[in-house]
Amino acid sequence: MNEKKPYQKTPKVHIDPRGMVATIFIARPLPEEETPSYTVQELLSFLSAAGVEYGIDQAALLRLAEKPVFDKAVEVAHGQPAVEGENGYFEYHFSQEFSNKPTIRPDGSADFLSIKMVEIVHEDGLIATYHPAVQGENGVSVRGMPVEPKRVRDMPALAGRGFHRDEDGIHYYSDMDGKIVMKNSRILISPVLEIERDADMTMGNIEFKGDVVIHGGVKHGVHIRTTGSVTVHGLVEHCYIEAGRDIFLLSGVKGGEKTTIHAEGAITAEFIEYAIVSCKKDLRAEVLFNCMVNCDSRIIVTNGRRAGIIGGNITAVQGIAVLNLGNSFGTVTKVTVGLDEDRRKEIITLADKIEALESNISKIKKGISDFDLLSEKKGVSYKDDPRRLQLLRVKIRDEAIVAEDRVRLEELYAMMDAGKRATVRVYNTVYAGVTVRMTDQYVQMSDYQQRVEMVKTETGIRLDPLEMDAFEDY
């Protein structure tokens, strides 16, 4: 009988790249080789030779000594992981979630009071708390080397205006009653006029540099002018509202012949009846009834089961999306998209005005130049000559007018370009009595149509079937 050869291979110790786990691998002996066995002390010597000094699992070594495991890496040492720290962070005590779209109730109606676009804070109110960075703790690798946690960092102090930081450096408080917004990692608190009741003639007209929030309604005869936004929770009656930004009329408008609402931004309302309305950005409502509307952007009347435009004269440069247009009684409803005739006339008028002013400016410049030449010729200064000074005044005035008119002209050209792609989308029914105009083309509905998109062509207005998913495009 042949004697078996001695086992020649040495167990291999492997340490993972992070230095947190060490394993021993014992190759299976060949049939002609003796089965190896190792004492705990021998296994420890292998680990020591490989540099393993920490976290050795004595129980695992004992099991290997009693019964070797072949062709498998057996974990025999574990490092102590570092305890990770936590970066500093701010906890904000005000909402940053806003929506200008109403929620839809189970019955299909739109809840415009669910709209929230303004977050109000009060003087000395807590707006933010800073949680400082928490340092981590070192771990130890199986080599006995320290394992450092990731570096943590503290945040810089909050930047912005309208608030202050407490002496503890942790708490931030508002300096005023106002509107709070987070913009580009800066907190901005600006003045806001908050009225807890109806705005009526007992408090007079309202003029304010900032935002106005009225928790009641706006009563007959009140005039409101603000450089910021206007939010009204109650019903708006016969009045005048003008805002430098957006207007939110969360319970709607029951106007009269002289009710006027204008926003340099967008308008959102539950409904608007009998009012003159204008805005630079989108207008959203559930119902527009017998209104005169002029919108530089889009009109969207799709929220709620009764959403529709009925009666009136409606203009939207960039298009209209509506659930129902007109009604079954044939109420006369006029709709215009694209650049309307008044704006087209304004373009021509402005272009002619700019041309005339520039021609006059050219003549004035020549007149001033003539004075300068005469000054050189005679050696006498005409710098303070009343005639030259008058020319300068007129030149400065006309150049300012031209600059302002050019800005408006560029706006109109941009609107004209956007209006070329304007359409009218009716997601449910367009009724007889509706007239749709697109620049030089128009169509008058003599019968009802359902789910159509009205598109301008060179030969007229085409009615295309409206795709089911087209609603999402608006």
pLDDT, tens digit (0-9, with 9 covering 90-100), for 255-290: 987 899 999 999 999 999 999 999 999 999 999 999
Neighbours of 176 (CB within 10 A): 16
Residues 215-232 pLDDT 10s: 999 999 899 999 999 999
Distance, CA of 464 to CA of 35 (rounded, Å): 86
- Cβ atoms of 11 and 46 within 8 Å: the answer is yes
Write out pLDDT tens, residues 38-83: 999 999 999 999 999 999 999 999 999 999 999 999 999 999 999 9
pLDDT band for 369, please (50, 70, 90 cuts).
Answer: confident
Mean pLDDT of 331-341: 90
Tokens read off for 338: 């694209």
**pLDDT value, residue 109:** 77
For β-strands 89-92 and 126-131, DSSP reports them as antiparallel
pLDDT digits (tens, 9 = 90+) for 372-431: 888 888 877 878 888 888 989 999 999 999 999 999 999 888 888 888 889 999 999 999
Whole-number Å distance between alpha carbons of 427 and 319 = 14
Confidence class for position 474, pLDDT limits 50, 70, 90? low
Q: CB neighbours of 188 closer than 8 A, spacing ≥ 6?
A: 160, 161, 162, 180, 181, 182
What residue ranges define each of the domains in the chain, with the CATH number in brackets?
12-78 (no CATH), 89-104+120-139+151-188 (no CATH), 189-341+421-473 (no CATH), 342-419 (1.10.287)
Residue 180 near residue 187, CB atoms below 8 Å:
yes
CA pair distance 91, 95, nearest whole angstrom: 11
Q: Give DSSP secondary structure letters for 195-252.
A: ESS-B-TTT--EEESSEEEESS-B-TT-EEEESS-EEE-S-B-S-EEEESS-EEETT-
Helices (H), 50-184: 58-66
**What is the mean predicted confidence (pLDDT) over 364-371?**
88
Contact 206, 212 (CB under 8 A): yes
CA distance 60 to 156: 49
pLDDT tens digits along 101-154: 788 788 777 787 777 777 888 899 999 999 999 999 999 999 999 999 999 999
